[in-house]
Amino acid sequence: MTTASAQNWSRYGNNSHEIGFMTGSTHFTTDYGERYLFKSNVGGNVGIGFGIIHYLTFTDYRYRWNQRTSYWADHFRLRNELSYFSADLDHFGKYVDESNVGEQADKLRAMHGKARVINIGTQLEFHFVNITDFGSRRDPDLTWSPYLSLGILGVFSNPELISEYGDGDWNADQNILYEKWAVPGAVNDDAQFIFSATAGVGTRLKIGEYSDVFIESKWQYYFSNWVDALNAKVPTTNTIPNNKYNDWNVFLHVGYIYYLN
For residue 7, is it within any domain?
no
For residue 247, is it within any domain?
yes
Q: For the segment 174-217, what is each residue's pLDDT rounded down to a tens digit? A: 999 998 898 888 899 999 999 999 999 999 999 998 999 999 99
For residue 6, is it within any domain?
no
Secondary structure (DSSP) of the chain? ----------TT---EEEEEEEEEEEEEESSSS-TT-HIIIIISSEEEEEEEEEEEESS-SS--TT----HHHHHEEEEEEEEEEEEEEE--SGGGSTT--SHHHHHHHTEEEEEEEEEEEEEEEEESS-HHHHHHT--TT--EEEEEEEEEEEEEE--EEEE-STT--TTT-GGGS-GGGSSTTSB----EEEEEEEEEEEEEEEEETTEEEEEEEEEEEES-S-TTSB--B-TTTSSSBS--S--EEEEEEEEEEEE--
pTM of the model: 0.87
For residue 56, is it within any domain?
yes
For residue 80, is it within any domain?
yes
For residue 107, is it within any domain?
yes
Please report, for the domain that includes residue 166, its CATH number.
2.40.160.20
Q: Which of 39-43, 67-71, 184-188, 239-243 has the highest mean pLDDT?
A: 184-188
**How many domains does the chain fold into?**
1
For residue 180, is it within any domain?
yes
For residue 21, is it within any domain?
yes
The whole domain housing 237 covers 16-259
